[in-house]
């Protein structure tokens, strides 16, 4: 199995070396918007601890990520008036993983609206900023 690369793009975001549209943080987990969303409000939920994917993450960190993904999903139902939520998580290149720090995709869905293809289009910064604000507010009040 390949080892964790501390210079992956999400590790840089976690260290504050690159910007992000943050929506949630606790002692074990960090969540921010995907800049190439498959649907409005598409959020990535990450462990703060270094983990490449499902195959090497410590069970306690995985549990914390799952609990945070549930919080984000519930908040997204309110913030985006969603009809449902799609959760995805990819492992290794063969499994569809592109960035090698474990992340869970939480994707708000509207009935009848298909998801965009993965990483197809960058969202405008002002829209991401607005969505992050709405989601963070729903998380705080929920």
Which are the catalytic amino acids?
103
Instruction: Report if residue 72 touches ligand DGP, rule: CB under 6 A.
Output: no
Tell me the window of 27-35, 57-65, 76-84, 109-117 that interacts with ligand DGP (CB under 6 A). Answer: 27-35
Q: What is the enclosing helix (H) or strand (E) of 10?
A: helix 9-14
DSSP states of 52-93: -STTTS-HHHHHHHHHHHHHHHHHHHHHTT-SEEEEE---TG
Task: Could you list the beta-strand ranges (E) of the chain.
Answer: 22-25, 29-33, 43-47, 84-88, 104-109
Q: Looking at the DSSP assignment, which residues form a beta bridge with residue 106? A: 43, 87
Size of the site for ligand DGP (CB under 6 A): 15
Residues 78-137 that bind ligand DGP (CB under 6 A): 90, 96-99, 103, 118-119
| Minimum distance of ligand DGP from residue 41's CB (angstroms) | 13
**C-beta of 118 vs 142, nearer to ligand DGP:** 118
Least spacing, CB of residue 10 vs ligand DGP, in Å: 7
The H or E element containing residue 136 is: helix 125-141
Binding site for ligand DGP (CB under 6 A): 9, 20, 32-36, 90, 96-99, 103, 118-119
């Amino acid at each position: 199995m390949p080892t964790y690369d501390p210079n992956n793009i999400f590790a840089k975001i976690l260290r504050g070396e690159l910007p992000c549209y943050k929506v949630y943080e606790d002692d074990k987990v960090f969540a921010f918007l995907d800049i190439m969303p498959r649907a409005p409000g598409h959020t990535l939920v990450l462990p703060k601890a270094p983990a490449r994917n499902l195959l090497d993450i410590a069970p306690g960190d995985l549990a914390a990520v799952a609990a945070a993904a549930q919080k984000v999903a519930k908040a997204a139902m309110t913030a985006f008036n969603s009809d449902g939520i799609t959760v995805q998580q990819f492992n290794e290149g063969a499994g569809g993983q592109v960035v090698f720090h474990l992340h869970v995709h939480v994707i708000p869905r509207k009935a009848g609206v298909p998801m965009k293809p993965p990483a197809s289009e960058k969202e405008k910064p002002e829209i991401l900023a607005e969505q992050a604000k709405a989601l963070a507010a729903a998380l705080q009040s929920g």
